């Protein structure tokens, strides 16, 4: 323990500390021959396992190739993935082999040979060269990256098998150890050269075993020799059960759980269908039924028949048009319409307006604006089989907005906005800059529209005063300030204009002081 400035170490304490360090180093260097012999035995056993795995993998690839030759439509996709596994497995296996050979040559120097077997190593107990080559030389990080890349590749191929994914993550784990050391430090620093070579051989064995696992997994995906269904149903997949007169009914007839490499034959009645598509021209409205069967040759050569039934509806052209605001269409504002065609998706419906414009808001909602007086015509179209067909519509009357009511708008003592037509207010409130005349439909409005007051007249005991705009003029305020309590001011001749451009005269407002 090192001392503080007021309690320095004695010469005896320094000597004891140095002797402890020397003893620790000697113990670290003293790797017994029994342990080294154990590494030799394990390394030899791992090489035998690798040889066995390589023979098994070779046989598996040969079987895969034979299956692909028999049924390339089904097997080739999986064989290509298996061959990619072989390429990547050979690549990392050979890199580890080169890593081992380089480490042995660095350790044994002139006495080294090209073999990476532990039993042929000279300096099996060397503790420096593994760290020098892997940690200081940076080769350990490169090896770590290659192991991680190979691991992620195997995990990506096992997306439908979480247990296999976890297995590969565990076998090729490269995280820090319990002491927080990086993988390459824990793996190589101050480790006997023979133990490092043995561990690397173990990684090579894991590569060959994992290669076998993933190739077998890919081979199982082909299902070449098995017909793994316990029930086969005939299905009809129509484009739509509802058809507009003049359109076409289209349906695909398929077998569920069918082997896609075996092509069945399809019949409606006794008429064969091309590729299972059934189409008829729909010239009459009504409900129509049809039936047929699908024939499929079994594995024993027998012909199996699977019956089916279907129906469809042919309707007259029609459209549903509803005005979501009112039953009339007003000039100058947005008129929101809900427009749909039964059996037709909203994206295949369009609207045209003669005398106005239509803008789609969302789904089946449209903003329709009139740009002329009188009437406008709304026509709805549906896109069917690539053609736009008229579905109907209607003639709508264009009207000006109804007249609003006039109000005096102010804020009370609590700051709450108020609107009045007849009531009592103080001169203090009337002198507030926020007091203004407005025109609106009030709380029960059915149509949203903004109106602007353009002028008005104020009548008091002091005479009549006019104002342009919606605020009291200075002359009007001067008269208001002369009024006594209980006296009345009347606002009349109130003129306002709406979004439709029409000017209108509004009713009186009476205020008692």
E strands, 155-285, where? 234-238, 242-244, 248-255, 265-268, 271-273, 277-281
What is the maximum span of the chain, computed from C-alpha positions, in angstroms?
A: 126
> What pTM value is reported for the model?
0.44
pLDDT score for 468: 95
CATH superfamily of 234-315: Immunoglobulins (2.60.40.10)
| Cβ pair 507, 457 in contact under 8 A | no
- Please give the structure tokens belonging to residue 50: 């690798």
| Cβ pair 391, 341 in contact under 8 A | yes
Segments making up each domain of the chain, as ranges? 24-220, 234-315, 320-399, 405-512
Topology at the third CATH level for domain 320-399: Immunoglobulin-like (2.60.40)
- Mind listing the pLDDT tens digit for each residue in 145-176? 999 999 999 999 988 788 889 999 999 999 99
pLDDT score for 225: 43
234-315 and 320-399 in the same fold: yes
Q: Measure the CA–CA gap between 240 and 346, rounded to whole angstroms.
A: 14
Q: Which residues of the chain have pLDDT under 50?
A: 1-7, 9-10, 12-14, 16-17, 19-30, 224-228, 300
- Mind listing the pLDDT tens digit for each residue in 331-384? 888 988 888 887 777 888 999 999 999 999 987 899 999 988 889 999 999 887
- Mind listing the pLDDT tens digit for each residue in 235-294? 777 766 566 666 677 777 877 666 666 778 899 988 898 878 888 888 887 778 899 998
pLDDT score for 270: 87
């Amino acid at each position: 323990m090192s001392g503080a400035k007021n309690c320095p170490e004695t010469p005896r304490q320094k000597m004891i500390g140095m002797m402890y360090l020397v003893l620790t180093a000697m113990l670290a260097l003293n790797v017994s021959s029994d342990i080294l012999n154990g590494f030799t035995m394990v390394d030899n056993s791992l090489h035998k396992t690798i040889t066995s795995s390589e023979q098994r993998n070779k046989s598996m690839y040969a079987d895969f190739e034979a299956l692909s030759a028999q049924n390339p439509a089904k097997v080739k996709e999986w064989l290509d993935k298996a061959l990619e596994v072989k390429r990547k497995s050979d690549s990392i296996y050979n890199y580890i082999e080169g890593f081992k050979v380089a480490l042995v040559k660095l350790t044994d120097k002139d006495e080294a040979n090209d073999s990476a077997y532990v039993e042929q190593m000279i300096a099996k107990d060397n503790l420096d060269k593994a760290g020098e080559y892997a940690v200081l030389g940076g080769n350990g990080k490169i090896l770590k990256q290659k192991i991680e890349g190979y691991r992620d590749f195997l995990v990506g191929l096992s997306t439908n098998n979480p247990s296999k994914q976890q297995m590969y993550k565990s076998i090729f784990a490269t995280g820090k150890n319990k002491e927080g050391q990086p993988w390459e430090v824990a793996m190589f620093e101050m480790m006997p050269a023979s133990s490092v070579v043995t561990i690397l051989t173990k990684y090579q064995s894991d590569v060959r075993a994992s290669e076998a696992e993933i190739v077998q997994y890919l081979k199982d995906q082909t299902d070449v020799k098995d017909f793994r269904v316990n029930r086969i149903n005939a299905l009809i997949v129509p484009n739509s059960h509802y058809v507009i007169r003049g359109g076409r009914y289209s349906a695909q007839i398929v077998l569920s759980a069918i082997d896609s490499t075996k092509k069945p034959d399809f019949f409606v009645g006794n008429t064969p269908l091309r590729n299972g598509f059934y189409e008829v021209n729909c010239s009459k409205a009504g409900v129509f039924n049809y039936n047929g069967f699908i024939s499929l040759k079994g594995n024993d050569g027998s012909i199996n028949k699977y019956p089916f039934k279907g129906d469809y509806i042919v309707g007259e052209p029609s459209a549903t048009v509803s005005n979501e605001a009112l039953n009339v269409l007003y000039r100058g504002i947005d008129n929101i319409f809900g427009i749909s065609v039964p059996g037709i998706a909203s994206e295949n419906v369009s609207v045209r307006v003669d005398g106005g414009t239509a803008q789609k808001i969302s789904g089946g909602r449209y903003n329709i604006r009139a740009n002329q007086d009188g009437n406008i015509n709304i026509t709805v179209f549906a896109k069917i089989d690539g053609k736009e067909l008229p579905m109907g519509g209607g003639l709508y009357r264009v009207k000006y907005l109804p007249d609003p009511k006039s109000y005096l708008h102010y804020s009370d003592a609590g700051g709450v906005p108020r609107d009045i037509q007849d009531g009592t207010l103080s001169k203090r409130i009337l002198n507030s800059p926020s007091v203004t005349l407005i025109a609106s439909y009030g709380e029960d409005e059915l149509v949203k529209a903004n109106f602007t007051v353009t002028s008005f007249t104020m009548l008091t005991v002091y005479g009549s005063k006019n104002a342009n705009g919606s605020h009291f003029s200075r002359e009007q305020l001067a008269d208001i300030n002369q009024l006594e309590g209980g006296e009345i001011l009347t606002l009349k001749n109130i003129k306002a204009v709406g979004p439709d451009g029409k000017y209108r005269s509004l009713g009186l407002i009476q205020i008692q002081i």
